[in-house]
C-alpha cells in the first residue's frame, strides 16, 4: 500500500492494540471520529499499529463514546528499514526544542529514543506521556507504519551500558575529533548515536563511552544545538543508507 494512497485519507489513527476482525476506539478517539470528523456507519477509517502495518476499517457502530470498526484490509507499510537506529539524546532546557527533535526524527525514521541525564544536563525530568504524544502525532502526520519507542529517562552511565548489536558513536565538539559520522558509519549497520546536552559531554563521560565501544565523531564544521545535532545525525544515517 503506497504513501500516495494514504494522502487521500481524512485521518490516520494510531492503534497499537488493534486485533482482527473488530476494534473499538477509545472514548477520546471515538468522539473525534464521530463528532469532529462526522464519520458514520459504513465510512472507512485508516489505522497504523505502529508495528509495521496499516489497516483499512469500516465503521459498524458510530457511538461517539465507543465507536467500533470492522477490519477489512491489512497491509504492510513501506517504511521498513534494513537497519535499526537508536539515539540517546539529552533533553534540552527548553523542552519544546526536544519535542521538535522527536517530531523530525520520527518523520525521518528512528527506532528507539533514549532520553538521559548527564553531568552538564540542565533538565533532570521529562513528561514522558507528553513526549510520546508528540511522537504519535508525527507518526500519523507523516503516515508511518512504525512508531518509535521512547525509553524512560535514564542516566548516561546506565545508557552506555545497554546491550546493543551494532555500531556505536558519540558526537561532541572537540578539536581532536576529526572523523565525520558520515565516514565512520557503514550502510546497513545498526547504529546507536549519542548527543549531549547544551553543555556537551564531560571529558569523563567521553572516556567512559569510549571504553564501552562508542566511537567519537563530529557532525560537520558548524556548532549545532542539541536538537539540531540530533536531527542531523538521524538524517546522516539515512543518507548513507540511501547512497549505498
What confidence tens digit (pLDDT) does each residue in 187-196 have? 999 999 999 9
Classify domain 3-76 by CATH architecture: Beta Barrel (2.40)
Q: What confidence score (pLDDT) does residue 11 get?
A: 78
- Nearest 5°: the CA angle 120, 125, 129 is 140
**pLDDT tens for each residue of the chain, 244 residues long:** 444 454 445 578 999 999 999 999 999 999 999 999 999 999 999 999 999 999 999 999 999 999 999 999 999 999 999 999 999 999 999 999 999 999 999 999 999 999 999 999 999 999 999 999 999 999 999 999 999 999 999 999 999 999 999 999 999 989 999 999 999 999 999 999 999 999 999 999 999 999 999 999 999 988 899 999 999 999 999 999 999 7
The CATH number assigned to the domain with range 85-242 reads 3.40.1280.10
Do the beta carbons of residue 111 and residue 149 sit within 8 Å?
Answer: yes
> Quick one: 207 exposed, middle or buried, by C-beta within 10 A (0-12, 13-18, 19+)?
exposed
Q: What confidence score (pLDDT) does residue 7 get?
A: 42
The answer to whether 3-76 and 85-242 have equal CATH topology is no
> Quick one: 82 exposed, middle or buried, by C-beta within 10 A (0-12, 13-18, 19+)?
exposed
- What residues does each domain of the chain span? 3-76, 85-242
What confidence tens digit (pLDDT) does each residue in 58-99 have? 999 999 999 999 999 999 999 999 999 999 999 999 999 999
Ordered DSSP codes for 113-131: EEEEE-TT-S-----HHHH
Amino acid at each position: 500500500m503506497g504513501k500516495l494512497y494514504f494522502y487521500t485519507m481524512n485521518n490516520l489513527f494510531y492503534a497499537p492494540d488493534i486485533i482482527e476482525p473488530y476494534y473499538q476506539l477509545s472514548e477520546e478517539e471515538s468522539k473525534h471520529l464521530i463528532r469532529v470528523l462526522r464519520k458514520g456507519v459504513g465510512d472507512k477509517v485508516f489505522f497504523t499499529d505502529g508495528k509495521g502495518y496499516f489497516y483499512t476499517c469500516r465503521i459498524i457502530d458510530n457511538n461517539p463514546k465507543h465507536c467500533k470498526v470492522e477490519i477489512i484490509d491489512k497491509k504492510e507499510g513501506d517504511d521498513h528499514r534494513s537497519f535499526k537506529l537508536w539515539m540517546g539524546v539529552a533533553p534540552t532546557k527548553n523542552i519544546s526544542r526536544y519535542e521538535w527533535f522527536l517530531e523530525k526524527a520520527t518523520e525521518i525514521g528512528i527506532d528507539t529514543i533514549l532520553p538521559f541525564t548527564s553531568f552538564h544536563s540542565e533538565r533532570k525530568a521529562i513528561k514522558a506521556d507528553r513526549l510520546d504524544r508528540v511522537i504519535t502525532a508525527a507518526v500519523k502526520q507523516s503516515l508511518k507504519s512504525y512508531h518509535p519507542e521512547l525509553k524512560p529517562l535514564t542516566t548516561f552511565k546506565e545508557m552506555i551500558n545497554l546491550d546493543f548489536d551494532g555500531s556505536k558513536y558519540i558526537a561532541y565538539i572537540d578539536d581532536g575529533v576529526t572523523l565525520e559520522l558520515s565516514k565512520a558509519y557503514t550502510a546497513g549497520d545498526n547504529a546507536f548515536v549519542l548527543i549531549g546536552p547544551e553543555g556537551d559531554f564531560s571529558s569523563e563521560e567521553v572516556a567512559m563511552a569510549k571504553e564501552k565501544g562508542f566511537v567519537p565523531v563530529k557532525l560537520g564544521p558548524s556548532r549545532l544545538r542539541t536538537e539540531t545535532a540530533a536531527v542531523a545525525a538521524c538524517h546522516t544515517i539515512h543518507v548513507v543508507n540511501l547512497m549505498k
